[in-house]
């Protein structure tokens, strides 16, 4: 292996002549996702004749979730917690799979009350559990846990539930919200406004005048790493300003970043893609995938970027159906492939996207270039260089 520690983030180039693809060095399924899917298939094989449920989407990828449905798995709720199947219909003999994002302590207790063995097929990613463990240690040390995450995301809801069971907790979505929270630390905002500003995002009994004196930051593992670092740095500097550098350790827990390795690697590889002289970028993944959305954000800094779920959204050489992460709407763009002698395309995907989807995107675009070098020749050349 030329890069055993996976520290080389230089993009790979598949050059087919009239079109070339620059692939991120790291993209696609992470360990937690692969493990969760494997356990789900095993649950079906080991329990013939029994009903098998998924608590919610296994991962944020429609291809994977549709495959699980086609194999007979039913979903109890959607990603926002809206119930499809009432708890009363879940029986002790049923199998319930906990998804890779984990779940709340309250839902675990509901399942136990129904007689379900929660631990039997729990696919919670170990990197998510690492955040829960970090939160517990912060709480035990008397710090309030500030969670950087999307409030309605399953993982953030699960992390909040676990952290709030140990200590005071509050969720901030981004740096702007972090700075708003900081205004309660400095006294720039009256404390009573906190309960409106952060409604449904703070733990029971939270008192901003008391519980914002000692803080530590953790995150939803799929958030943008640089933003999490900015938030942690902001609170660190704020505590120095309010309490003095000599008292920093008393008021700020200097936690290390809690993003998973796959999110870190995918984001680092995307930064290297931004240096590529490409004409456009295509990012493949589920539209409700947090880590994929962040990769789209990064690509948009350098390229016209198209976020698609699969090759089916490439309608023709002149039309692509894609998702706008800012308006949260699907849209259609024309002329996305430039008319030039050689087209250069940046191509990557999120940690919840099967590699086969990326392969299918390449093949779909290659079908528009009949004069392109055959795939087998390009792959053989890649293997010998």
φ/ψ (deg, to 5) at 47: -135, 55
Q: What is the DSSP string of 214-270?
A: SEEEEE-TTS-HHHHHHHHHHHHHHHHHHH-GGGHHHHEE-PPP---HHHHHHHHHH
CA-closest candidate to residue 25, choices 10, 15, 13:
10
Sheet bearing 343-349, strands edge to edge: 12-15, 19-23, 343-349, 280-284, 305-308
Cα 357-262-311 angle, rounded to 5 deg: 15
The order of strands in the sheet holding 329-334 is: 314-316, 319-324, 329-334
**Residue 155 bears catalytic tag:** yes
Q: Which of 63, 155, 297, 309 is catalytic?
A: 155
Q: Show Cβ contacts of residue 269 under 8 Å, excluding neighbours closer than 6 positions.
A: 9, 11, 24, 25, 26, 27, 348
Within 8 A by CB and 6+ apart from 164, the residues are 203, 204
- Which helix H or strand E contains 116, and what residues bound it? none
Q: Which residues are catalytic?
A: 155
């Amino acid at each position: 292996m030329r890069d055993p520690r996976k520290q080389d983030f230089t993009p790979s180039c598949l050059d087919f002549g009239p079109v070339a693809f620059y692939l991120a060095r790291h993209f696609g399924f992470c360990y937690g996702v692969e493990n969760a899917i494997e356990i789900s298939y095993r649950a079906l094989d080991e329990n013939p004749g029994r009903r098998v449920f998924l608590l919610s989407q296994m991962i944020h990828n429609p291809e994977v979730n549709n495959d699980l449905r086609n194999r007979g798995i039913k979903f109890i709720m959607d990603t926002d917690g809206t119930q499809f199947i009432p708890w009363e219909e879940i029986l002790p003999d049923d199998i319930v799979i906990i998804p890779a994002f984990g779940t709340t302590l309250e839902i675990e207790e509901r399942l136990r009350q129904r007689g379900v063995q929660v631990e039997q097929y729990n696919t919670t990613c170990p990197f998510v559990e690492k955040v829960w463990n970090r939160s517990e240690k912060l709480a035990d040390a008397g710090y309030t846990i500030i969670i950087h995450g999307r409030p309605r995301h399953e993982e953030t809801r699960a992390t909040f539930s676990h952290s709030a069971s140990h200590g005071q907790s509050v969720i901030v979505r981004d740096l702007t919200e972090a700075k708003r929270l900081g205004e309660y630390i400095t006294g720039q905002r009256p404390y009573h406004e906190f309960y409106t500003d952060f409604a449904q995002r703070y733990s029971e009994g939270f008192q901003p005048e008391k519980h914002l004196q000692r803080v530590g930051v953790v995150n939803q593992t799929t958030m943008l790493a640089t933003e999490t670092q900015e938030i942690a740095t902001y609170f660190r500097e704020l505590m120095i300003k309010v309490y003095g550098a000599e008292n920093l350790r008393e008021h700020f827990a200097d936690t290390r970043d809690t993003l998973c390795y796959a999110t870190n690697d995918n984001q680092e590889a995307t930064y290297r893609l931004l240096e590529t002289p490409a004409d456009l970028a295509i990012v493949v993944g589920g539209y409700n995938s947090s880590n994929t959305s962040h990769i789209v954000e990064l690509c948009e800094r350098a390229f016209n970027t198209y976020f698609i779920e699969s090759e089916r959204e490439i309608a023709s050489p002149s039309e692509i159906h894609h998702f706008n992460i800012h308006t949260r709407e699907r849209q259609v763009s024309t002329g996305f492939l430039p008319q030039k002698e050689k087209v250069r395309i940046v191509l990557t995907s999120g940690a919840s996207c099967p590699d086969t989807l990326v392969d299918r995107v390449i093949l779909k675009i290659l079908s528009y270039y009949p004069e392109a070098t055959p795939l087998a020749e390009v792959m053989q050349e890649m293997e010998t260089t």
